[in-house]
Amino acid sequence: MEKIIIEILGYVSATLTTIAFLPQIIKTVQTKSAKDVSMGMFVLFTIGVFLWIIYGVLTRTYPVLIANAVIFCLALTQIILKIIYDKR
């Protein structure tokens, strides 16, 4: 497979998996509730994403690095929202 096709595949995959988090964050903000969000899952997921960032840096795999950096921020946002809304 040509390198450009592989790169495009990587960026499309990264984009789709990254924007998949937006509906959950939007719903959490709109409802001001995160009671159905699993803190354990998001903490483990965020640690895994952080490790993917390190992998992306070490291998210079930019789709992996960029996507996981954005996902890390979104997952961290969800964790913060859960903490804020669970206190209410």
Helices (H) and strands (E) in the chain, counts: 4, 0
How confident is the model over 2-29, as pLDDT tens digits?
989 988 998 898 889 889 889 999 999 9
Provide the pLDDT confidence category of residue 71 given band limits of 50, 70 and 90.
Answer: very high
| Proportion of the chain above pLDDT 90, given as a percent | 70
88 pLDDT higher than 80: no
pTM of the model: 0.83
